[in-house]
Structures are given as structure tokens and as C-alpha cells.
Amino acid sequence: MKMSVFTVATPDLQPEQLAKAAADAGIEGIEWRFKEIPPGAEEEQPSFWRHNQCSMDPGGTEQDWLRFKQAAELHGRQSIAVVPYLTCGDLAETEKVMRAAKLVGASFIRAGIPAYNRSVNYNELYEQAVKYLLEVEDLAAAYDVKALVETHHNTIAPSAGLTYRLVSHCSPQHVGVLYDPGNMVHEGYENYRMGLELLGPYLAHVHVKNGGYRKHPSEDGSEATWTGEWTPLAQGAVPWRQVIQDLKSVGYDGYFGIEDFSGTYDSTEMLLRFAEQMKQWSEDKQFA
């Protein structure tokens, strides 16, 4: 089993600290977050999506970006992905990320897919996304860096089926799928093995996290609402033992990338626990 870490989940570590912590945990790959720190956020405590100290700055120079490659290499780790927050249709920024990925020796980037919030018809968004992905496919071929569409709630690709509908227009050599069962807790759940069988050669990477739902009764108890939230890896709705077995059944041999947003452990301990837990699950005799 090959493991990686997406640095959105380690906001308190500098790149060199992250690479060492990954090495200590036996995590081979690093997925570098590609996002600037918002103005004023540097005065805040480290956080996943604002003051994240383990992010490549899109406005940085190539020398700035090389720091991340060097940090990984210093501790014998591999930079496997550069993960941005792209807008669907923005080819200039997409090419910038491709260039950054090529520079640090990464194989993947994340493509931008439209959000879905009921304000624009799905079919219109779908056509926009397909047009963009066909253009991204050409960039991916030119840079030899695969573009991944992530299964993600609140987008037009929340499930394996809807994600497959998008990427099926492209060659799996250049455009693939980042399969994220944790996101599918919030929206997009399908039988894991069925979805993986559908994805076939488009399955390129897997993110590992977990989540669940919390019940909020009304004051008089007559009604209730439910909200999704992140949980520790072994305490959520995703049955990771089963998912790992389903991935084995389709011949998946890529990375499992940790992206724990539960905040239960500090970054270093989270990486150690992730590695231990994944090894335990992958060796489970019940699913061997």
C-alpha cells in the first residue's frame, strides 16, 4: 500500500517539517496544496483553508516552488500532486498549475469543476465542464501531467457515476478521477465497488478521510435537521475496510492520500495514526 498526504490537512507544518513527519510515518507521497494565504490570515492560528503554512503560493516564483520539491527530496519523499482550487474554464491558471507540477516532479493536478447550487441548470454546467476538460486534456498531454476530477459534494461531480460522465469524453491517459469516499458521505454515495468498476481505467487516486451526520432536534422535538461533519478516520460512515477491499478488487495500486479534517490530532500524530490504521485495515484477515 502506497500512502500520501494532502497538505491542506497539515496547516501548522512548514514544508520541511511536513516532509520529515511523512517520512517518520512511512508515508511516501506528498500532495502540495496550491493556494495563496489570504491577506491578514498570517496573523491567525494555522487553519486548513486560510493560514495554511504548507501551501505553494500561485503568485510565487519557480524558485519559491522548488522549495517544496527540495523539502520532499531532503527526506526521501515523492511530490505526487499539486492541488489547486481552479475555476472551470480558466485555462491560463490550469496551465500554471501544470507548470508547477512539472517543476516539482508531480504526476497529478486537480482540475476545476463547476459548483452546483441550484442557480444554473446542471446541463449547462455539464457542457461547460466537458469543453474545459477536453482543453485540459491537451495541456495534460503536453506537460505529461494527468488532470484529475475529484468526487466532491456541492459540485456537478459528487458521485462516481456523475464524475465518470464528465471524464469519459477524455483519454484516461491524461484525465482521471480522484475518488473520495469521505466527500461522498455529504453527497454522492453509491455502492463503492460498483462505482469503482464503472470508473475502470479513469481511477487514478484516492483520498482518505471520514465523516458523518449529526441530528439537531427542534425545540419542541417535533422536527429535526441533520448536518454533515468530519470525523476521525475510524469513526465515520465510510467503512474503510470494505472500501480498501473494493479497491483491491478492481486492481487499484495507486496512492491512498490522507486528508483528515476532524482536527482530532495534531498533524504529526494524525499522520502516524493514519499510516498505522491503513496498514491494519489492508492486512485485515477478514478482507484479505
Closest CA to 102 of 56, 73, 143: 143
Separation of alpha carbons 68 and 102, rounded Å: 12
Residue with cell 531532503: 74
| Nearest by Cα to 69 from 21, 35, 24, 106 | 106
Mean pLDDT of 205-217: 98
pLDDT tens digits, one per residue of 82-110: 999 999 999 999 999 999 999 999 999 99
pTM of the complete model? 0.96
What are the tens digits of pLDDT across the range 33-68? 999 999 989 889 988 999 999 999 999 999 999 999
Torsions phi, psi of 283, nearest 5? -100, 5
Contact 6, 83 (CB under 8 A): yes
Q: How far is CA 99 from the centre of its chain?
A: 19
What domains can be seen in the chain, in order of their start residue?
Answer: 2-287 (3.20.20.150)
Question: pLDDT value at position 288?
Answer: 45
